[in-house]
């Protein structure tokens, strides 16, 4: 689908003033001004990210009360179970709590529901089973804030319940002993973008302070917290929360922690992912190497193994688990590709993507563990809100669906408007899930498309590439790109800058590459300078690029590629068009 190229505007005078006042390179000044950072003081806090930028955990709504209750339960030798979500955010948060409570001598275990059999969040059957096994206190991680019925059931059984979460909640909050959430009603916590593992980290930090009887924690607990920052960074990046404010602090220092003091499991996982050889780690290493391998375990119903990897101190077990998760990720990739091909076939046969407001695709036998990833890929490709539904092959169980908004609508609200056709739904504005009976599929599809139509303006349907600046390829020196890297860590709300170059020639390629030929590589040349470009997930660009006769304009993200100790500039291709 053709995209509209939109160039960010900036005030050259403001850029010049910031460059002089903050003593920063021109390209960095321009990118900072475009991000609304216009004073030298703001520049210092943005570029020089200090660990002291984290707010005291006691400021987070419910954190101190939760820490006190959990610490008292540990000292009273109560059986504590951490009930985590099955994605990377839930796994990392669960491991943070588990490591913390083990250090203070608690009787603690963890439970992660099976994605396919139990679905998201607390469920009554699991609560009953855990209670029968002696659980006295449940601590949720990355779930529970919408579990009103389940919380009431836990209370009836005499269980204590601490809910730690960051998701959207409904009109009624669960009746738990303590709720920990960055945006509880009547809360004035200044940053509501924390993910589940960051919330868990804050509570664990408060527990460490109580255990040390001081704001300054003991050396052993301090070492744990420094390691936990690295674990929380994985959840933060993998959950695609805004990399601003405290999240920027967590990820900046977490990446350093992962390099300097990774626990055994992460050390082994980074080795199989090839991240261990890098001089420094970036958020992309989490987003494309570490996070997907953890998420693969959850998507294929084996999230318990992801938590075990994050908590084991046995080097041999760590290696075995890392290799197994790596294989699961390969299996996940194969399943994902088969669902993606089937879904795109449905689009070609049944949809007019230029005019239809949304896509609702369903298939029997589609693996429910990969439909969220496929929904994201299709939503990005066609720039339409997309829901992918995995239907039961024999039609006995309800279908499981996952949606992505393409940044166009509030999915959580849209599903709420269609609730009469759904058994269950929940999630965020950008990503949400649902459960549906197959006989309600057509009615839901019609209702959802109507809601999407009402939520969108006409201009929303045109996909855009936001471009920060135009540069000739000759300016993409190692020194310049290193200057751009000062704005890292990159991610949601702080994206890697997108640049463009006009009138470049195709010097070599394009060629397909990677598993399933999903990706593309090509070399571009301009004024005697040649640079390699990679189009991730853009293997379909090979044929149309091959047919181009003449120069093209390219939009791209500049990166530094490390290979066998050498560092070179290459670009990740975002879009291209025939030069006018």
Task: List, for residues 494-522, the tens digit of each pLDDT value.
Answer: 999 999 999 999 999 899 998 778 899 99
Q: Does residue 329 carry a pLDDT above 80?
A: yes
CA 157 to chain centre: 35
pLDDT at 291: 96
Closest alpha carbon to 375 in 418, 346, 398, 413: 346
At 307, is the pLDDT very low, low, confident or very high (cuts 50, 70, 90)? very high
Helices (H), 387-426: 411-417
Host H or E run for residue 160 = strand 160-164
- How far separated are the first and last CA of the chain, in Å rounded? 18
CA atoms of 402 and 369, how far apart (whole Å): 10
At 141, is the pLDDT very low, low, confident or very high (cuts 50, 70, 90)? very high
pTM over 0.95: no
Helices (H), 351-410: 371-382
pLDDT at 139: 98
pLDDT at 318: 98
**SS3 state at 61:** coil
In sequence order, the β-bridge partners of residue 402 are: 388, 433
At 525, is the pLDDT very low, low, confident or very high (cuts 50, 70, 90)? very high
pLDDT at 567: 87
Domains (ranges, CATH) in the chain? 4-9+465-578 (2.40.50.460), 53-325 (3.90.1640.30), 351-461 (3.10.310.30)
Mean pLDDT across the chain: 94
Q: Which two tokens stand for residue 93?
A: 């948060």
Q: Which two tokens stand for residue 387?
A: 């829901």
CA atoms of 39 and 21, how far apart (whole Å): 8
Task: List, for residues 409-453, the tens digit of each pLDDT value.
Answer: 999 999 999 999 999 888 778 888 999 999 999 999 999 999 999
C-alpha pair distances (Å), 339 with each of 345, 365, 377, 503? 10, 9, 11, 37
pLDDT at 218: 97
CB 391 within 8 A of CB 363: yes
CA atoms of 413 and 419, how far apart (whole Å): 10
3-state helix, strand, coil in the chain (%, to 5): 50, 20, 30
Q: Does residue 292 carry a pLDDT above 90?
A: yes
User: How large is the average pLDDT for residues 209-222?
Assistant: 96
pLDDT at 1: 67
Higher pLDDT, 518 or 371: 371
User: How large is the average pLDDT for residues 202-215?
Assistant: 97
Task: List, for residues 542-577, the tens digit of each pLDDT value.
Answer: 999 999 989 999 999 999 988 777 889 999 999 999
User: How large is the average pLDDT for residues 270-275?
Assistant: 95
Helices (H), 49-123: 63-75, 88-103, 115-118
At 262, is the pLDDT very low, low, confident or very high (cuts 50, 70, 90)? very high
CA atoms of 440 and 107, how far apart (whole Å): 46
Quote the Cα angle for 476-479-483, to 5°: 95
Percentage of the chain exceeding pLDDT 70: 100
* 493 Rama sector, left if φ>0, alpha if ψ -120 to 50, beta otherwise: left
Q: Which two tokens stand for residue 203?
A: 């509570």
pLDDT at 100: 98
């Amino acid at each position: 689908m053709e995209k509209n190229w939109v160039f960010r505007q900036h005030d050259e005078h403001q850029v010049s003033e910031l460059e002089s006042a903050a003593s920063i390179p021109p390209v960095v000044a321009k990118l900072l001004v475009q991000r609304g950072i216009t004073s030298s003081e703001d520049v210092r806090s943005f570029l020089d990210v200090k660990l002291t930028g984290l707010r005291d955990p006691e400021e987070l709504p419910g954190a101190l009360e939760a820490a006190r209750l959990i610490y008292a339960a540990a000292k009273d030798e109560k059986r504590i179970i951490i009930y985590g979500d099955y994605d990377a955010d839930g796994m990392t948060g669960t491991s943070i709590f588990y490591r913390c409570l083990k250090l203070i001598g608690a009787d603690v275990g963890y439970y992660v529901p099976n994605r396919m059999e139990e679905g998201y969040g607390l469920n009554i059957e699991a609560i009953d089973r855990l209670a029968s096994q002696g659980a006295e206190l449940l601590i949720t991680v990355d779930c529970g804030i919408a579990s009103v019925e389940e919380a009431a059931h836990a209370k009836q059984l005499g269980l204590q319940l601490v809910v730690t979460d960051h998701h959207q909640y409904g009109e009624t909050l669960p009746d738990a002993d303590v709720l920990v959430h960055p945006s509880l009603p009547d809360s004035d916590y200044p940053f509501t973008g924390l993910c589940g593992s960051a919330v868990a980290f804050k509570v664990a930090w408060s527990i460490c302070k109580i255990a040390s009887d001081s704001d300054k924690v003991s050396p052993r607990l301090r070492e744990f917290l420094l390691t936990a920052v690295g674990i929380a960074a994985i959840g933060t990046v993998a959950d695609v929360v805004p990399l601003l404010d405290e999240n920027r602090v967590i990820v900046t220092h977490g990446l350093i922690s992962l390099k300097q003091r990774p626990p055994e499991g992460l050390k082994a996982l980074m080795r199989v992912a090839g991240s261990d050889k890098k001089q420094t780690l970036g958020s992309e290493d989490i987003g494309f190497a570490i996070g997907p391998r953890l998420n693969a375990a959850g998507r294929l119903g084996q999230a318990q193994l992801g938590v075990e990897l994050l908590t084991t101190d046995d080097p041999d077990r760590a290696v075995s688990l890392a290799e197994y998760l790596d294989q699961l990720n390969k299996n996940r990739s194969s399943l994902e590709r088969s669902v993606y091909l089937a879904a795109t076939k449905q689009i070609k046969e049944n949809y007019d993507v230029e005019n239809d407001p949304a896509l609702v695709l369903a298939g029997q036998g589609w693996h429910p563990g990969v439909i969220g990833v496929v929904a994201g890929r299709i939503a990005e490709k066609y720039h339409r809100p997309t829901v992918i539904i995995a239907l039961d092959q024999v039609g006995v169980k309800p279908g499981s669906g996952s949606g992505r908004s393409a940044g166009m609508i509030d999915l959580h609200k849209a599903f709420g408007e269609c609730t009469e056709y759904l058994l269950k739904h929940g999630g965020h504005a950008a990503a949400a899930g649902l459960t549906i009976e197959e006989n309600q599929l057509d009615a839901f599809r019609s209702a959802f498309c109507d809601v999407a139509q009402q939520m969108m303006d006409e201009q929303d349907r045109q996909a855009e590439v936001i471009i920060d600046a135009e540069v000739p390829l000759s300016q993409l020196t190692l020194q310049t790109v290193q200057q751009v890297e000062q704005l890292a860590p990159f991610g949601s709300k702080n994206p890697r800058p997108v640049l463009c170059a006009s009138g470049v020639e195709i010097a070599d390629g394009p060629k397909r590459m990677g598993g399933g030929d999903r990706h593309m590589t090509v070399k571009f040349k301009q004024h005697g300078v040649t640079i390699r470009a990679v189009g991730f997930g853009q293997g379909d660009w090979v044929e149309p690029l091959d047919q181009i006769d003449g120069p093209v304009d390219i939009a791209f993200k500049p990166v530094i590629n490390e290979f066998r100790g050498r560092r070179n500039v290459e670009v990740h291709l975002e879009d291209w068009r025939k030069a006018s």
